[in-house]
Amino acid sequence: MIAIASDHGGYPLKEHIKAYLAAKGITCQDFGTDSTESCDYPAFGKAAAQAVASGQCQWGIVICTTGIGISIAANKVRGIRCALCGDPLSASLTRRHNNANMLAMGAGIVGKNLAENIVDTFLNTQFEGGRHERRVNALMAIENDW
């Protein structure tokens, strides 16, 4: 199950990605928003991130106009590694090297076709482990420093 969320700026792309994944037999749990009416992204990014952090959902996809704000919101949740990706190479590398568990995209930056490619790459790329495991563990340890 994939947690998916957006603000008003990301709503059309979120709906497209939900339909795209559904056509592939992949289930999404939608954490909002449900329209293009102006709203605040932090609540939606947080809700999707909490679903991933709790284990309710395996992955998360969050979308706003740039992807920046909603990725920051998601990364405030303990246990989340949300990467903003605007191309398939970044999506591949963040899975391979950072073991990212959430993907953020900017609807004003990427179009539907590119977004599909980024999502496919993110979901189908495995974490390499090895030397990267040590680095991911160091990243996650930062949460305990506070």
Catalytic residue, candidates 16, 39, 97, 132: 97
Catalytic residue, candidates 64, 82, 85, 132: 64
Q: How far is it, in rounded angstroms, from Cα 144 to Cα 103?
A: 23
CB 58 within 8 A of CB 27: no
Helix (H, G, I), strand (E, B) or coil at 62: strand
All residues at 6 or more sequence positions from 146 whose CB lies less than 8 Å from its CB, including other chains:
none
Q: Does 64 qualify as catalytic in the annotation?
A: yes
Q: Does 57 qualify as catalytic in the annotation?
A: no
What is the rounded end-to-end Cα distance, in angstroms, of the chain?
Answer: 31
Give the residue numbers annotated as catalytic, written as ranges.
Answer: 64, 97
